[in-house]
Structure 1
C-alpha cells in the first residue's frame, strides 16, 4: 500500500552516499519540491562533485529551505542528512511553521552502496564513503529519538491533502465491509459551458447525469448573487426555488431542496407554500433546508432587513415550529416569538406525510440544539475531527430533548480524478495563476476515486448519513461520471 503524507510536509532524507536517496526522491516527488545539496553544489561551483563549493551550496540550501518552510511548501531535503545539528535545525524550523516533518532512513547495506558507487561515472572517494557508512550507523539509532512525525524506510509515498492521509485504510475497510451513505449534488455555480443561453440545457443535462451517477438528491444554494467564498458577485446565479421547480421537471428520483434557505429572505408562511408546491410538482421529493442567513451584503444589496443574530434565531425557531403546522391538516393559528399567523393553512398539502427539514449550521449552543428539538437532520461543515465532535454534541442535544438521534449531514467540496496525474492536471487547470497548487488541492479536496471513497467512509464512520458534494469543475455533466465511481462504492 502506498503511504500518504500530508500536504504540505517536510521530508528529510538520511543515509550514506549511493544509498538511493536521490533516486527515491525523484521517483516520488515533483522536481521543484526537492532541495538537493548536489544540485546546489553544481549551481554554486563547477559541478556536483566540486567539493570546494560545498560551503556555499549548503548556505544556499539553508536559505531555500527556510523560505520554502516559511511559505508552507512541501520540501524534500536531499543531503546525506548525517549532520545531527542540521537535522534538528530543520525539524525545529518545520515545527515553527506547523509542518509535519518525516525522516526517511536509507539503511542500504554497505556492500550495496560500495557496488553502486563503483558503477558511477563520478565516484565518491572510497575513504569518504567509508566515513559516511560509519557515521550512518551512529545516526541510524538516533533518528527514532529526535521527534519526527515518522521515521520511514524508503517506500512508495504520495503527498495528499490532509483529508486523505488515512483514506487508503478507510477505502480498504469500505471494500471489505461496505457501509451505505447517501450522496447529494450541491449546485453552487451556474457558469456553464455555452454561457447564459445554454443554462437551461446544461442544467437539464447535469440533473439527468446526477441521477444516472447515483446521487440521491440535488441541492441549490439559497442566494441571489454568488457568495465571495466561491466566486464574484456578478457571475451568473439562479434563484433557488425557481431552479428547483425546473429540476423537478428534469428529474424523476432525486430529492430536491435548498441547502439552506435563508430564514430572512421570505415570509415564512409563504416559504411553506413554496416548499409544498415543490413537493407536489416533484411527486413528493421536496426537502426543506433552513438556516439563520449570514450574507449581510446580499441583504443590503436587495434592500432587505438583516436583523441582529438573536432576532434571527427567534425567527428560525418560529419557522421550525410553523412549517410543519402549515404542511399538516387544518388551519391552526400560530403565535411564536416573533411570528404570528392566524391561519396556518396550505392547500394542496405536500404529498409527503412529513417534509424533512435540514437545519444548516454547526453552532453548538443554539443551532444544534434547535436541530435536535425541531429538525430531521443537521448539516455541518468542517474536517473529520470537527464532524466527529459535532456528531457527539448533536447526540447529546437529542438526548436532552428526549428524541432519538436525528441525522447528521455534511457539506463539502470534491475534485475527483482517476489517478494522481489527472488530479494534478485538474488542479493546474482550475486554480487561479497566483494560487499555490497544494493549497488549492486542499481547499477543493482534490484526490483520486480511492481517496474519496476513503474520506467518505471515514465520514460515515463519524456518523454522517448524507454528504452534499460541490464539484468545482461542474461546468457540464462530465465530472459527474468521475464521482459516480465513488458513489458506486457505497451501493
Structure 2
C-alpha cells in the first residue's frame, strides 16, 4: 500500500509571510519520507471540518505549480477539483501544463463539487446537483479528448468546443481520479472514465467497492485496472503512540483491495509527524 499526503490546512503558525517557505518544507519532507503523492484541496475558503472559512486557503493549481518546482518524485493533484469552478478546456490545459513542468507527475482529481457557500460567496458557478454531474461527465469526455491526438470539435449539453487543440500534450496521459462514493452516479463514472477512485475510510468501503465492481461489469471494464484509494487521517501521535492503531487500520483496508491511503497529517508544519510516518508507517504499509 502506498501513502499519500493531503495538505488541507494552510493556517501555519508562522502566518502568510512564511507560508511559501513552510509549504516547501512540508512537501520536501513528505517526499523524503516516502509519500508517493501530495495533494491540495480545491477550495477557496477553508471547509468547516477543518476550521472557519476565514482560515488561509490557497488556490489549488497555482499551489501545485509551486510544488512542482520544489519536488522531484511525488505525483501532484488537486483532491479533488470542483468541476464547476473551471471550464473543462482550461482545466485540461492546466493539468497538461502541470504535467509538463513537473516532468510527468500530474494527475487529475475531480468531483462534482459540493461547497455552495464558497461558490456563492465568490460568484463561482454552482448549478444544481444533477447539472453538476452532467457537467462532470462532459468534462471527463473533454479532457480525455484533449489528451489524445484528436482536435475534433466537442458538442455537449453544457459545453461546446470548436477545436480541442492542446499543445504541448502531457508527458504522460494524466491518470484521472474521481472522488466520492455515490453509488448510482459517481462510481459509474469511475468505471467508465477513471484510473482511480477515492472513498472515505469507514465501514462502507467494502460495499462501495462491490458497487464499483458491478458498474465495471456493466460497462465491460476490468475492475482490477482501477486503483482503489481511501481518504483517512494519518495521525502517528505526538511520539508515535498511535502508529500501531494506524497500521492496523491500513492493513484492514489493504485486505479489501485498497492500494493507497491518502490523508491529512495533524501538525504537519512541525515536520516531525511526517518523519514519524516515514520511519514507522510507510515502510510497513508497503508490505501490505
Same fold (TM over 0.5): yes
Q: CA deviation at 1:330?
A: 3.7
More deviation, 219-228/407-416? 407-416
Larger relative contact order (CA 8 Å, sep ≥ 6):
2
Once the two structures are superposed, what CA deviation does each residue of 1:385-407 show, in whole Å capped at 9, x if it has no partner?
Answer: 31111111111111111010122
- The structure 2 residue matched to 1:451, chosen from 242, 245, 257, is 245
Q: Cα deviation per residue 1:397-424 (whole Å; 9 max; x = unaligned)?
A: 1111101012221111122127xxx47x
Q: CA–CA distance in 2 between the matches of 1:335 and 1:472?
A: 45
Q: Choose from 54, 59, 62 the match for 1:242.
A: 62
Partner of 2:94: 274
Find the counterpart in structure 2 of residue 75 from structure 1: none
1:61-460 alignment, distance < 5 Å: 181-352=1-172, 354-383=173-202, 385-405=203-223, 406-417=226-237, 422=239, 448-460=242-254
Match of 1:488? Answer: 283
For residues 195 and 296 of structure 1, the distance between their equivalents in structure 2, rounded to whole angstroms, comes to 27
**Could you list the per-position Cα deviations for residues 322-357 of structure 1 after superposition, in whole angstroms to 9, with x for gaps in the alignment?**
1011111141111223211111111111000x2100
Runs of 4+ in 1 over 3 A off after TM superposition: none
Structure 2 Cα separation of the partners of residues 328 and 305 of structure 1: 28
**CA–CA distance in 2 between the matches of 1:404 and 1:202?**
42
Report if the CA contact (8 A) 1:415-1:473 is conserved.
no
TM-score of the aligned structures, taking structure 1 as reference length: 0.56
CA contact (8 A) 2:33 2:277 kept: yes
CA distance in 1, matches of 2:157, 2:257: 33
The CA distance in 2 between the partners of 1:488 and 1:347, in whole Å, is 39
Equivalent residues of 1:279, 1:286 under 8 A apart? yes
Alpha-carbon shift at residue 381 of structure 1 (Å): 0.9
Task: Report how far residue 272 of structure 1 moved.
Answer: 0.5
SS in 2 for 1:364: coil
Q: Is the CA contact (8 Å cut-off) linking 1:202 and 1:476 kept in structure 2?
A: no
What's the offset of the Cα at 1:267?
0.8
Separation (CA, whole Å) in 1 of partners of 2:150 and 2:218? 31
Aligned length: 283
Aligned counterpart, 1:8: none
Question: C-alpha displacement at 1:315, in angstroms?
Answer: 0.2
Q: CA offsets, 1:207-256, max 9 Å, x none?
A: 11101111000000000110111111111111110110010011000000
Q: CA deviation at 1:375?
A: 0.9
What's 1:466 paired with? 260
Q: CA deviation at 1:462?
A: 1.0
Larger radius of gyration: 1
**Unpaired segments ≥5 residues, structure 2:** none
CA RMSD across the alignment: 1.3
Q: CA deviation at 1:459?
A: 0.6
Distance 1:330 1:377 in 2: 24
